[in-house]
Structure 1
């Protein structure tokens, strides 16, 4: 048994709309919240009785896995000013941690 996410919305005219978030076109409108939940469950079950859920592998492009910030990693590696600034920051942190 899988759990499904159901969005319940109250309308201005007193009805409740129940929508299966994973299947947005699976939606019911009813006079009560309980009725909407029950009916959307039935509608989902009817739909799943005629359906099949499969998983397929999808190749992931390496560019989508790369953190865009990483293109800047190491750009100050040989900058003497940056190295000095980092030493000062480290000294301040160590001093703060001693307090």
Structure 2
């Protein structure tokens, strides 16, 4: 855990836990604030149980194979693929057509 110690405008110190922002104490000295926040965390954690839960999903998440062939009947797909193949096999050293930026 990461302890955060802040000097307040009134000269006191506030201590909190980065991972648990609702854990916060104020004290007249830095040392007391640190001791109080540690005690507060230990007290609170003694009453807390951490339980791991795997959420059951009703359906499997989509996989790439579910999308294979979705463009097979798209009349523009062949033209798009031809352009991509032409760009991949060209001897042009530039990565992007500079006319896109004009």
- The yes-or-no answer on 1:84 pairing with 2:79 is no
Question: How many residues of Structure 1 are paired with residues of Structure 2 in the alignment?
Answer: 88
**What CA deviation, in whole Å up to 9, does each residue of 1:17-65 have, x standing for no partner?**
211244433211123433322220012122233x1323142415478x6
Task: Flag structure 2 segments of 5+ consecutive residues without an equivalent.
Answer: 94-102
Larger helix proportion of the pair:
1
Could you list the structure 1 runs, at least 4 aligned residues long, displaced by more than 4 angstroms after superposition: 71-78
Q: Secondary structure at the match of 1:59?
A: coil
Structure 2 residue aligned with 1:55: 51
TM-score, with structure 1 as normaliser: 0.57
TM-score, with structure 2 as normaliser: 0.56
Root-mean-square deviation (CA, aligned residues, Å) is 3.5
Task: Flag structure 1 segments of 5+ consecutive residues without an equivalent.
Answer: none
Structure 2 residue aligned with 1:42: 39
1:11 and 1:17 in contact (8 A); partners too: yes
Structure 2 residue aligned with 1:15: 12
